[in-house]
Structure 1
Amino acid sequence: MKKWVKILLHAVFWFYIFAWHNVIGAFFTPDSWRGASYYFDPLSISQYILFPCTFYFNYFFILPVFYKTNQIAKAWIAWIVLLLAFIGVRYLFQEVLFLKWFGIKNYSDDTTIGYYIYDNIYFGGLLIVMSVLFWIIDDNIKSQKEKYLLLEEKKSAELAFLKNQVNPHFIFNTLNNIYALVSSKSDKALPSIEKLSHLMRYMYKDSDAEQVSLQREIEYINSFIELQIIRLSNKESVQYNFEGNLTNQTIAPLLLIPFIENMFKHGVLNNIEKPLQIKITVSNNNLSLLTTNYINKNSKDNSSGIGLNNVRKRLALLYPEHILTIQQDENIYQCNLQLNLDKK
């Protein structure tokens, strides 16, 4: 709750307690107006002090110290003591001392002690109950805000950690490929290094944003696929198809690439009869990614697929309504990802 809203609510409450009936009533029954002096006599001034003291003693001390820490029994004892103190102090000043000092008192002479206590249980109890309600509302709003901030911090920290895992994973794999090209003195080595420099610029500059344009992400995927194809002897063994219109859609950066990288890492390469198949479809703000590859049973890389594990977590955090279907048999591995880019 914003500070000015809290102050306004408290001000409205005290206006109701001290002036509502007289000020508002005067608009309808002018004869009921007691005059401005009524609000500055000793009885009224004493209430301006006693009532807020009771309210805020409960608000700032009893509730945070006892109620907040789940010491309910001590809180009830403190409320009873506070109520008795309210009645006793009010009686001492308004019925004893003010009569002696100013010749005035709040209650008539025929008021019994029993009725006085009963009547002030209402006033003191109202102050305590209302301070409890105000405090609970304020505390709940603070708690919700703190939970939200903690979740956001946790989410940001986890996403940063996951993305930092994805980037080195990709770089190390690509450097290994380029190393092989350099070792064989292939003409493809220099173009591969140039492609990698463009990709790294995107990863470490543009991908720092929470969202990037989908067009930029698709361009990154295109460059990645071209970089991988450079090292293949048969380019037709990779079938890549993009369908749809790129307008102003946005997406979390580096979200799709682990699925495609996984194909080149674990799939059969340079085989036209067993191609790597990649299809991306964009329709308005709906995105579909379908990847299919034959499993390379002779792959020397037996890692558990850290890239896909990370992207699962990122999808759960960023796009909780996503649909990810992974099908695998003895020979074929297929991923089908459905995203609604609006529902983040």
Structure 2
Amino acid sequence: MNALQRKIGLHLLGWALYIGYSILGYFLYNWRYEVLLLTMSQHVLHVVEFYLCYFLVFPLWMKYKQWGVLALGIVGVMFTYIGLRYTIEEVFFLSVFGFSNYDSITPSYYFFDNLYWALPGIFLGAVVWALEATLQKERENRTLKQEKTQAELAFLKTQINPHFLYNSLNYLYALAYPVSDKLGDAIIKLSDLMRYMLHESQDGKVELQKEVDYLHNYLEIYRLRFEDNFFVNFHIQGHVNGQRVPSLVLIPFVENALKHGVVDDVSAPVSINLLLENDNLYFDVRNRINKSQKDQTTGIGLPNIRRRLELLYPGKYNLDVQDDGQQFRTVLKLQEV
């Protein structure tokens, strides 16, 4: 049984106990069918109220964080309750069964009396929604804590080798530069990549300019394989100074484009566009799909990228992936960078 089925089962059990207990009391003390019908209509309307609050009012309030949204939603639920109850008990029951719930009352009395009776469904919806939201938050916190612990352990396991490689690259640069300027420049760029990967900060973020520099170095190293037959267009619009992003958040898209795309066709170059606008970052990467590519691995994979973005930018990112069989495109939007 999955989580959704378990939740549905618990809701059905709760309503069965709640309504069953109430109906049992009326059968024991007042078994008239009029009372039974009125009781059932009341409970049905409470169920309607409950799920309007549970699925609509409280989630919208949590999304927008505005008390006005909550107040407007609760008022709307109350008016819905009053309108439905009047339709069922004062119109439908009277025309079909020949009785109604209220006799000879003023509209104002009916309205204010039903404001009171509308409260249980709203209150019950608030309690259940808040309880489930709290439990869900606790589960997410536990998951994040476990993932953080696993990431820290993985990082500790890999710390020694990157530092060793970084120091070795600096030594190789000293040996290679007198022999070949080109080889020396390539080694120093690779060394810069390693240094950037080892960079640490308290919040896990780096200056966007450093992320851009990393992309440039990565492209230059990749260019060594193709020399003059390497066609990649990297355009930047907007000011990258002062912006901060999680380290290595952009490179997976470029890596996949170079690995699985065509980079040696001047008529179909890989396109990389970075746009900064109103504290939003747009990163658009396009490449023609390499049909002869035998390596089907995709680096860290888009599902893992999505998971990382969800952890870093919950509700503040959008990742659009397009694949028409000829061209592959990823468009990433980060808010409030």
Q: TM bucket by the smaller chain? A: 0.3 to 0.5
Q: Larger Cα Rg: Structure 1 or Structure 2?
A: 1
| TM-score (normalizing by structure 2) | 0.48
Higher relative contact order (CA 8 A, sep 6+): 1
